Chains A and B, each alone.
Chain A
């Protein structure tokens, strides 16, 4: 089963304060544990919301709102994509994540939708077009 584990933002991450050296070392050690266990598929960190933007939809209207955004605890600061046997396993793994973000640091664990969940919401043609676009993006990405 595949999960995304989202790292929620904190005041420090939103302020762009780099982690302390010892926190960084702990975070790297945890990352290595996930790699050695063979469960990590991908991981990335995100810049503070001040570097981002939102688009709000109201009917046909689109309103672009530049960051930063106020509700820090709802913001995502980074993510891992892991493959494990159960939600419990994902939880047990990430209970071991060092608290490098300070008080109130929160992780959110969410399973990926499986084809059975999406059902036939997408036609074969739609899926093919999406893959086409993803493949192009991946090639550019390297």
Chain B
């Protein structure tokens, strides 16, 4: 094995073992930041030793043994904690002993809850989740979020410190807290997904890989808490949206909008999984959960063989329910688009105008107005709206698309 090949193999083992390793250590030291440091030290030892010795038969146990040995050494150095050494020494198996307790799945779930703890900002939650649950390196996470590695490293260090300072420890939320805490875990997973989904071709290829990471985390969650409908719904939503990733950009990197996509490029395996996951969420009684409704809307598109066959009245109805469950002007705007497709542009324009100033700086508002005005045969106003939208968007590809539409208005 060449040293590069060995390195890649060690990294692969790390991807597989990181979450369970960190979770198991966190249970031991009751501090995820410290657990992560210990795990990283074990990884460094593996990178030093495995290229020569080969990958051990049970690499997870090897890493755990090394990390635990270091944990004991560390604690021994802390004189004031002398009392705990004995305690720890009794609980620990001998570092080189054959039997190590398998970390239980609950630990991984607990790790997820801790990484997404409300004392942290969403950005910090996402960074910690990718680092500890997905086994990504700081450099990979930095590239994915388009920030310098040093910035991301600082963000992670600060996040770990915040957890330690808030004495978060390593415990699962109680029954009364479970729903909001789970919601925040789901929000982080979806944030990671959207970070990848917003990327366009030509940018770093790692960004679409974020969608894969988010779906992987979603599947981990679905296995850990299989009775929660919104977990299945979020996974279904991501899989249905990701099924269109390949069709979203043209050969020149330009955005291809949903209705213009070559549906032959949609990923049928992900669609099949997404529809199955949505059905599961609905069977569990979660049909009107926010993610389930969004997944149901994505499913309507996925089922339409051609753009013309899209069931717009159903999409409009689903948006109407979604607007009641999570009232938001953005949802109202989307509903207006669906109503426009179902009942014509005049009705939709009334709905959009009814939104007033609530979305003043949101580029999709003038973009939707422009589209409706163009359909109503009012090209001069349409053009002005598209140009306004182009001035508001931060995404270059989107700006190109909007300016092209403005041009079309003549």
B366 within 8 A of A: no
Contact A92 B265 (CB under 8 A): no
Which residue in chain B gives the minimum CB-CB distance to A138?
A: B272
Q: Which residues of B from 255 to 298 have beta carbons under 8 Å from A?
A: 262-266, 268-269, 271-273
B105 within 8 A of A: yes
Interface string of A79-96 (1 = CB under 8 A from B): 001011110110111000
Interface 9-residue window, one of A5-13, A35-43, A56-64? A35-43
Contact B264 A39 (CB under 8 A): no
* Interface residue tally for chain A (C-beta within 8 Å): 31
CB distance from B181 to the nearest CB of A (A): 20
What are the residues of chain B within 8 A of A115 when measuring CB–CB?
246, 265
Contact B218 A38 (CB under 8 A): yes
CB distance from A88 to the nearest CB of B (A): 4
Contact B264 A128 (CB under 8 A): yes
Which of A38, A84, A126 has the largest number of chain B CB atoms within 10 A? A38
Which of A39, A42, A81 has the largest number of chain B CB atoms within 10 A? A39
A51 within 8 A of B: no
Which residue in chain B gives the minimum CB-CB distance to A88?
A: B12
* Interface residue tally for chain B (C-beta within 8 Å): 34
Interface 9-residue window, one of B24-32, B162-170, B209-217, B329-337? B209-217
Chain A residues with CB under 8 Å of chain B are 35-42, 81, 83-86, 88-89, 91-93, 115, 122, 124, 126-132, 134-135, 138
Contact A39 B219 (CB under 8 A): yes
CB distance from A107 to the nearest CB of B (A): 16
Contact B265 A89 (CB under 8 A): no
Complex: A35 Cα to B221 Cα, angstroms: 10
What are the residues of chain B within 8 A of A126 when measuring CB–CB?
264
User: Given A92-B12, A115-B246, are A132 and B305 also a contact pair (CB < 8 Å)?
Assistant: yes
CB distance from A140 to the nearest CB of B (A): 12
Known: A84-B15, A92-B55, A93-B16. 17 other contacts (CB 8 A): A35-B223, A36-B105, A37-B220, A83-B215, A83-B216, A85-B15, A85-B209, A88-B11, A91-B9, A91-B12, A92-B12, A92-B59, A128-B264, A131-B264, A131-B266, A132-B305, A134-B268
- 8 nearest interchain CB pairs? A127-B264, A38-B219, A88-B12, A38-B216, A38-B220, A128-B264, A89-B12, A92-B12
What are the residues of chain A within 8 A of B224 when measuring CB–CB?
36
Contact A42 B216 (CB under 8 A): no
Complex: A38 Cα to B224 Cα, angstroms: 10
What are the residues of chain A within 8 A of B16 when measuring CB–CB?
37, 89, 92-93
Subset of 5 A-B contacts with CB under 8 Å: A41-B269, A92-B13, A126-B264, A127-B264, A131-B263
What are the residues of chain B within 8 A of A93 when measuring CB–CB?
16
Q: Which residues of B from 188 to 215 have beta carbons under 8 Å from A?
A: 209, 212, 215
B324 within 8 A of A: no
What are the residues of chain A within 8 A of B13 when measuring CB–CB?
92
Complex: A129 Cα to B262 Cα, angstroms: 11
CB distance from B255 to the nearest CB of A (A): 16
B8 within 8 A of A: yes
Interface string of B14-28 (1 = CB under 8 A from A): 011000000000000
CB distance from A127 to the nearest CB of B (A): 3
Which residue in chain B gives the minimum CB-CB distance to A39?
A: B216
Of the candidates B59, B209, B268, B269, which one forms a contact with A81 in the assembled complex, judged by CB atoms under 8 Å apart? B269
Interface string of B223-254 (1 = CB under 8 A from A): 11000000000000000000000100000000
What are the residues of chain B within 8 A of A85 when measuring CB–CB?
12, 15, 209, 212
